[in-house]
Structures are given as C-alpha cells and as structure tokens.
Homo-oligomer: A and B are copies of this chain.
C-alpha cells in the first residue's frame, strides 16, 4: 500500500487525482475514481452553474468518499461557480488558468482544500503565500491547456520553491510515471489522459478510439500564437489550425476557428471539427478499463518499482 501525506490531508487511499477535464469530467467519472480510492474531480470549466450543482449532488449520491471540483479562473460565471462551491462545501477545489487569491477566504471558511494547478515556480510561490493547501505542478506533455515547462523540469523546481505538497501532472499513465514523480519529490499524481478510456468516462466512442490508437507522436500543440496553447490528438481540425497560425489570418478569425471544437469531439466525435484533447502519454493508453482497475494496476506497478528501486545500487 502506498500512502503519502496528501492521502492523510484529503482522506483518500491512493495519492491520485483524476484531472478536471472540461466537458469530460462529470459525476459518473469522478465518483468512480473516488470510490476506487483516488480523488475524483468534476469540471466546472463549462461555466454552467446549474450543471455543476447537479453533478456535485449526483456525485454525492454515488460516493461517500471525498471528491473535488476544478474551476477555470478566467471562465465566465466564475463568481457564481466559486460561491456555489463554498455553499456546497466540496472537499477540494483545484484551479487553473489564473490564481485563486480572491476566493481563498470564502473557500477556506467553507473548509475546502484549495489546490491550484501551477505552470511555474513563481505562480506556485504566489498561491502558497495566499494559503493553497498543495499545488499541482503540470507539465506541457499533458492534454488540454498546457504550459511551457515539462513535468521532469517543473516538478523538482516547484518542490524546491514551496513548503506545501506537490502533485505531479503531465505524462503519467502507469506505475513508472508515478514512481518517477515520487523521485522528483511529488507526493502524488494527477492523471487525465488514461481516464479518457475509463469505462465510466462518457466521451464519444470516436474520441476513445483516437486515444487507444494514438502513438507517442500523435499529439500536437496549437494556439501558441494567441498565447493559449492546447495539446490534442492530430486531426484534420488541429492540423488546419496549426497551419493557419503561420498565415496572415487575423487573431479573431483564428480564435473563431476553435469555437465549439471541444464539444464537437466530446459529444459528437466529429472527426473533422473536433479537438480531441489528450496528452503525449496517449501512446501508452491501449485499453478500456474501469477506473478501479486503472488505479489498482497503476499502484501495484508503482509498489513493485519502488520495491526494486535499489537494483542498480551496488
């Protein structure tokens, strides 16, 4: 059994967070992860307050274990979402796309553990100073919105920069990645891509098939020109967008190209218009399994690897 201080802090069995994936991470997936001993996370990134409340209530009916909600701080309706999470007293809030100082007092008063996703040491220090309970250091090999830093380079530098626990995210899909994250000083991992093919994940079959078929070089980053890089599986849409970035298309037209591309992937599996967000580790995701199987398998591997960690020490 593997247990780190983050397990005790949050009352979870495995030091594993399921990533908050926009339009994807719902009550069904989050409760399955929480029931399996990880920290399931519902996305509030769509900004639909009623939907988020419904999902929180549904998750509570499906599990008595703690779960979290992920918010995009630059999203619309963020004030309403923030207030909802305080009112519902969710166990954990993870945040992305900004820093959560202004909501910190309200959330802490509600007993919420606040764990921001950070792309750099400076942001990590800033959120630690404003009372974050831990940080998720996410490398740009992850799917969806990405930063410049990679997991290997970011995690140890964040560990050195703050005194709170660090969760490693990006490029982790099996026990080797979990063990590596521990070596870098992380106390846990956040997993997104591998849960895309979980039996409890409700994305379109086309989306799942793309992840299962992907190899190591199947993903691409688009959106750098506008300062909002996103990693997805190469597709007609992502290739066209990548090409357009180096043309004289206006920023507005470029922005418009991407509108609706994520829902088109998640709900309709539209191969032409869809943006199939996924990480570089997609090449290692080759099976559909339950969340419980994924988590058990990953930590059995981790334990075996850690038990054999001294094999090169003579």
Contact = CB atoms under 8 A, between A and B. Distances in A.
A5 to B, nearest CB: 9
A156 interface: yes
B217 A309 contact: no
A1 interface: yes
A128 interface: no
Contacts of A290: none
Interface stretch (A75-83, A146-154, A268-276): A146-154
A182 B309 contact: yes
A240 interface: no
Nearest to A248: B248
Copy number of this protein in the oligomer? 2
B216 A121 contact: yes
A2 interface: yes
Interface in A138-191: 139-141, 148-154, 156-158, 160, 170-172, 174, 176-177, 179-185, 187
Contacts of A217: 120-122, 148-149
A288 interface: no
Interface stretch (A37-45, A194-202, A255-263, A278-286): A278-286
A314 interface: yes
Contacts of A153: 141, 170-171, 216, 279-281, 283
A204 interface: no
A279 to B, nearest CB: 7
A247 to B, nearest CB: 9
A303 interface: yes
Nearest to A121: B216
Interface residues on A, range: 35 or more
A215 interface: yes
A304 B152 CA distance: 19
A280 B150 contact: yes
Contacts of A171: 150, 152-153
Nearest to A185: B176
A39 to B, nearest CB: 16
Interface string A230-265: 000000000000000110100000000000000000
Interface of A: 1-4, 15, 120-122, 139-141, 148-154, 156-158, 160, 170-172, 174, 176-177, 179-185, 187, 215-217, 219-221, 224-225, 245-246, 248, 279-281, 283-284, 303, 305-307, 309-310, 312-314
Given A3-B314, A152-B152, 9 more contacts: A4-B312, A139-B150, A141-B150, A149-B216, A154-B280, A156-B174, A176-B184, A183-B305, A224-B224
* A-B pairs, 6 with minimum CB distance: A152-B171, A309-B309, A153-B280, A179-B183, A153-B171, A180-B180
